[in-house]
Amino acid sequence: MTGSLCRKGEACTENQKRAVKKTDGPLVIVAGPGAGKTRVLVERTAYLVKRKGVSPENILVITFTEKAADELKSRLINCVGLDAELMQISTIHSFCSTILREHPEEHDLGAGFEILDEESQLMFLRSVFYRIGLNSFMKMGEVHEAIEFFNRCTENCVDPDELMEALKKRYPDKKRYHGMAACYSQYLKALREEKKIDFPGLEKEVCLLLKSNEDVLESVRNKYRYIMIDEYQDTSPIQERIFRRIAEPKSSICVVGDEDQSIYGFRGATPENFIRFRDKYDAEVVFLEDNFRSRAGIVLTADRFMRGERHYQKTIKPVRGGGTDVVILRSRDVNSEARNIVSLIKKLKSTGKIPDYGYVALLFRSVRYHADKILRELRREGIPYIVRGDGSFLKRYEVRRMLYFLAYVDPPDYDDKFSGRWGGWWNISMFRGDFLDLGEETLEALESLERDVKLSDFTSIQELEAAGIRGEDAEKILGLNRIRDELEQGSLSVLQTFYRILEVTGYLRRLLLDGSDKSRARIFNLAKLSSLIDKYETIKPGARIQDILWYLYLLPQHLHHDEAVLEDPASVKVMTVHQAKGLEFPVVFICSVIKGRFPGIKRRRKELVPIPQELLLSSGEPEDEDRRLFYVAMTRAQDALIISTAPRINTRKVGISPYITELREKCGIYECECTSIEGCLEREWAEEPLRINFSALFTYEECPFRYMMIYHYGFVYPETFMQRYGIILHRCLEELHLAMKNSEDINGAFIRELVERCWIPMGRDDEVKKRRLERELLNYYHDSRDHIEEVVSVEEPFSIPDDDIIIEGRTDLIIRNSGGELELVDFKAREHGGIERMGLEYQLRTYEYALRDRYNFDRLSAYAIRDSMRMSFDSDPNFTVRERIEETVQKIRSECFEPRRNQFCSRCVFRNFCGV
């Protein structure tokens, strides 16, 4: 064992040390479960910076999820300091976006493109459904099948014309195949026209750019000289091509993975990239086989289960000891399974084997389809739990009520369309409950109204009083009807309508005042709905309420959101095996290990259009992942693993899983009593650090209540013209400053091309707005070119790490001015009169404080683009930034979110909920 660079007093194993110090040439790190691979990545990165003197900008680290990237960056900040902010630590999609934005002139998208995630892609395709001709070949509710086909084409770099030619040659009579190929071509055209790109498109664009443009390839290679890729077993063929192209010819590339844990074939991932890496690169291999996570019985059982299935021959060895750590829980059927699992959980708690229920995780192949009986039993026994993967968001009371009242205020009458799922217009049950909080007298009056009377036709208090509806109740119903009138006049967006309904009903205000966990969960769900509405309106400007309701009505099951849950460390965790990957729990139950679930029923892949093999980057069907999925589930357990099985689903006999038989015969695992399970080690649960940007910090200073609504709960603030204009402006300025840094010729033609590249469609008068921005940028350039002696840095990232919070941000510009001073410059899209001076000084001095180890600034400035005004501050050692930040952070952690009256109250969308 040798010392750690990042954790004083701790040691690395010999193989961990080898993995850290092998920095030249290609390297494969075969990392078994619980072997400390994240730690090795952190130590290896720190070794490159601290021992090898590698510049942080030359390091690229790719992770599978954004959460993994954040965790890695946090640990590196603690180890190497703020230099970690200069590294590219991100997912593959974020990395591809960075390459495209850094080279906007080398591709058709420019810098102002919008990235569509999986949900946004579905929204977009629905919005162009008729435009690209999909209506000739499928129903709107089948669009997700088209997405699967389109994505497979894109991630295999299939050319639309070549696809059409190949399909006509192989399937001359299949007109639907030809039509879908034409739709794919039109889909790509629609994306280009609207400056949008989906996730597979990001990878394809970068892959083709690196292949066709030697200058870009050389630039990327020179920048990223040391490459590390985590979870390499879950990469796709196109991703492998991107990494290989960048890594050559020096091949300073390190991949980390475990073929045993490759479970994302349905996303196009293949373990073949990892398996063949050694031979393809002639790479050195380092095995991390010491499992620090699990007790010995769990490690040995899981290792025997996978033995004989591996290409990289390894033997996972337990560091911890252990006794009876793995048991089989057999029940008569899935109903008794639910009772037996919950009974065992209670026994573990009552006998002191677990300190609280938060030590237990229940893992399923599918929570949505397999967990209902166990969840019902947990509720019956009063055991707290947190569930993920059940897609229950649209079933929530507050969400259904809001959707109903959105439908109520929308003028079109579409009873018949939604009667199956949302209920008819006249649904008195929707007026009951605390969403409207109507009195009993009002509810009786509503019940007695004639069936042909439309509540939405009431236009005055007098009419409502005549119908027996009085006081605040009459005001609420009349308020809803007025929203209806505003919508007919076209004066409200859907998101604005959402907030108006919350205002008129008083529902959100009541939830905030109540403050209970139940109310807070409802607030989180309403915030999630606001985000979904905003996303839809961003994809389809001018969308109507009925468009969003249709979107939700036809939403495929795999995209159904989970309801918001309040994190409770003392609750049982319920999730799918896929969601549990990368996590660990003291006690794991693998539930319903029965035939047809583990392993699943093998079904032949159904393709909307069969893509000819010669057009694909890889050959063959995805491998059988069931064994690996079960292995991942087993290796999540730290102290105890309970594998639950039953031969029947209700009265239907299905049989126990063959894995159960294998565990008995190969591993010697049998049913045991609860008393044979050893107690768990007591643990302290580490709280994840809070990550916020400076905008959030400044929002808190401005109004803690507004901060709470936006950054704590997640409500989306309706985007203003100035916000979108500011995004475009900053993209233009970034490119302009880089051009100045590189001494390029800048003139009116350059500015026009720049604005065109960075523009994001804003609706009406786009051309007028473009010309205005061109004038402002040209004025700025003429005003500043003599002031700027040298462009030192553009868009430099920074962070302020604390024990439990990380504040992140980016500077707009750092220059050496004509007076020889080092100057930090921040840009504002407004006139200088609209910028609050004290807030501005706090912002600039926070930037100065964050960058204190890199720069010693002489001057801090803000430049108002609209009127070409520069506001500056000299150095002030007495300005207390650190103390002010710490005070704010402490208040945020303590959830001190009292409203604060300020000059922005009249324009704040939350002004009717705060009580000020």
Q: What span, in angstroms and rounded, lies between the C-alpha atoms of 7 and 139?
A: 57
Amino acid letter for position 262: S
Torsion sign across C-alpha atoms 318, 319, 323, 327: negative
Joined together, the tokens standing for residue 431 give 């007026």
Closest Cα to residue 445, out of 421, 467, 470?
Answer: 467
* Residue 162: C-alpha distances to residues 184, 237, 657 (Å): 12, 20, 45
Q: What span, in angstroms and rounded, lies between the C-alpha atoms of 665 and 659?
A: 10
Q: For the packed helices 237-247 and 199-212, what is the interaxial angle rounded to 10 degrees?
A: 40
DSSP class of residue 459?
-
SS3 155: helix
Q: What span, in angstroms and rounded, lies between the C-alpha atoms of 781 and 754?
A: 13
Cross-strand pairs, 474: none
Count Cβ atoms within 10 A of the Cβ of residue 129 and give its class: 0-12 exposed, 13-18 middle, 19 or more buried: middle
Concatenate the DSSP letters of all residues of 30-58 into one string: EE-TTS-HHHHHHHHHHHHHHTS---GGG
Q: Report the Cα 260 to chain-centroid distance in Å.
A: 25
Flag whether 181 is marked binding.
no
Joined together, the tokens standing for residue 57 give 């900008």
Flag whether 31 is marked binding.
yes
Q: What span, in angstroms and rounded, lies between the C-alpha atoms of 787 and 808?
A: 29
* Residue 58: C-alpha distances to residues 214, 228, 787 (Å): 19, 11, 31
Flag whether 37 is marked binding.
yes
Flag whether 32 is marked binding.
yes
* Residue 549: C-alpha distances to residues 406, 410, 508 (Å): 9, 11, 21
Q: Are 63 and 69 in contact (CB under 8 A)?
A: yes
Q: What span, in angstroms and rounded, lies between the C-alpha atoms of 813 and 781?
A: 14
Flag whether 112 is marked binding.
no
Q: Are 572 and 384 in contact (CB under 8 A)?
A: yes
Closest Cα to residue 824, out of 853, 856, 798, 799?
Answer: 856
Q: What span, in angstroms and rounded, lies between the C-alpha atoms of 192 and 204?
A: 14
Q: What span, in angstroms and rounded, lies between the C-alpha atoms of 826 and 730?
A: 10
Q: What span, in angstroms and rounded, lies between the C-alpha atoms of 916 and 911?
A: 7
Count Cβ atoms within 10 A of the Cβ of residue 440 and give its class: 0-12 exposed, 13-18 middle, 19 or more buried: exposed
SS3 of 687-738: the string is: CCCEEEEHHHHHHHHHCHHHHHHHHHHCCCCCCCHHHHHHHHHHHHHHHHHH
Joined together, the tokens standing for residue 692 give 């916020």
List b or e across 733-757, with b for residues whose CB sees 16 or more CB atoms inside 10 angstroms.
bbbbbebbbeeeebeeebbeebbeb
* Residue 701: C-alpha distances to residues 690, 697, 805, 883 (Å): 17, 7, 16, 14
Backbone angles phi, psi at 434, to 5 degrees: -90, 0
Flag whether 34 is marked binding.
yes
Distance, first Cα to last Cα, the chain: 61
Flag whether 38 is marked binding.
yes
SS3 890: helix
Amino acid letter for position 200: P
DSSP class of residue 643?
E
Q: Are 54 and 47 in contact (CB under 8 A)?
A: no
Q: Binding-site residues for ATP, please?
A: 31-38
Give the annotated binding-site residues.
Answer: 31-38
